Structure 1
């Protein structure tokens, strides 16, 4: 692994305070691989062999039941998944696949659990990471249960616009079917929601969406840090 890549991983909050010797053991045993789009990386129900770190690209977390599939989250660099299953050595509760071409660092689960038991600073960082993920899940649950589908879409537009630089032009990084699943909608419901948002200052363009009146959209969406962070 290149020095620059090691430095990127080292700068992650999870690994920032781990003892150098323990970090070296983790990364010596790790694999850095490139995957094309739509490759399944982990499958729900399987026991974890690795902790995955996204170095480049994007990954979709999803679940299937009774012939139905739903998107649970979409992750980008430099995010880890799925830490809770690795620490507890219990089956994954969700699957993961690449949305785009991606480079993934895979740290053996046994090596990570060994470092967790030996390195107090690393153990504290893992607790912080798990607490952060728990709060993210609570926010996602509140978003799903306390907002209409159109309100969820409006807040997704505002959040994505901010992530993309706040220009008022939102580009889609994945297809609309995946977006609908992420927001807990059917594709048809998503299409209707886009139409409804035209009266709140959102317009479709050839490359995505344009926010023509951010104040009107925010007034409708009512973003809050207790849901949106």
Structure 2
């Protein structure tokens, strides 16, 4: 790996995690960090390994997953721009999940020891990191609530509504990643995902490959019973 080039620093300095930092402290972090482009389906780290870096996804798509009993289950699909596995870095503990790229991805790698050193000195970085951790906790609560209170077709309906909302309430969009990854994320098999999409046809949803059209948002929302508290991001 090579250290970040001077021309790359202004873009990274504007990221939410770093933009309010003291200039000297920010330069300390960026000068010791790496900005790398990884190909699709590359494992970034594995569950149980010590957290050597804070990862910040700048471009691309990353899957967080857990392996066991001969299969993988998707825990989260990370979209830019956000950090991931912050808790392992801050606690200096092993990763609880593995990560791999789903598409060609540009990832900032901040050495974990450097991150812990600077966060003790820079209040803005500490606050931004706490914000990331808090959002991660809230995401986990939402995911558990979704899994425990909704049937598979309802979980898919909610996912489509949230995905649409994140894109300005787009009614026609392309799903991120493969359908098998989406199925795993929502806690179902690919066959169950296909059946769930079939159920949603009656609620005004049509699908062609990875392309989804929401033709009756009101009907879909009535079926999905969305969370009364809007998504945080």
Partner of 2:128: 125
| Gapped regions of structure 1 (runs ≥ 5) | none
Partner of 2:117: 114
Q: Find the partner of 2:145 among 121, 137, 142.
A: 142
Report the more deviating stretch, 205-214 or 67-76.
205-214
Secondary structure of residue in 2 paired with 1:104:
strand
Map 1:96-107 onto structure 2 (within 5 A).
Answer: 96-107=99-110
In 2, Cα distance between equivalents of 1:135 and 1:154: 20
Report the more deviating stretch, 137-146 or 12-21.
12-21
In 2, Cα distance between equivalents of 1:11 and 1:136: 24
Q: Find the partner of 2:201 among 198, 202, 226.
A: 198
In 1, Cα distance between equivalents of 2:185 and 2:209: 22
Q: Find the partner of 1:85 among 88, 92, 95.
A: 88
Partner of 1:213: 216
Map 1:1-229 onto structure 2 (within 5 A).
Answer: 1=4, 5-205=8-208, 208-226=211-229, 228-229=231-232
In 2, Cα distance between equivalents of 1:86 and 1:133: 14
Cα–Cα, structure 1 residues 4 and 198, in superposed 2: closer, same or farther, change >3 Å? farther
| 1:192-215, Cα deviation, whole Å (9 max, x unpaired) | 111111111111235512212111
In 1, Cα distance between equivalents of 2:214 and 2:173: 8
- Report deviation, 1:167: 3.4
In 2, Cα distance between equivalents of 1:72 and 1:207: 20
Secondary structure of residue in 2 paired with 1:71:
strand
- Report deviation, 1:6: 2.8
| 1:35-93, Cα deviation, whole Å (9 max, x unpaired) | 11000001110001111111111111001122221001111221111111001100000
| Gapped regions of structure 2 (runs ≥ 5) | none
In 2, Cα distance between equivalents of 1:73 and 1:132: 13
Report the more deviating stretch, 35-44 or 204-213.
204-213
Q: Is the 8 A contact 2:61 2:103 kept in 1?
A: yes
TM-score by length of 1: 0.93
Secondary structure of residue in 1 paired with 2:176:
coil
Q: How many residues align?
A: 229
Report the more deviating stretch, 60-69 or 165-174.
165-174
In 2, Cα distance between equivalents of 1:29 and 1:186: 42
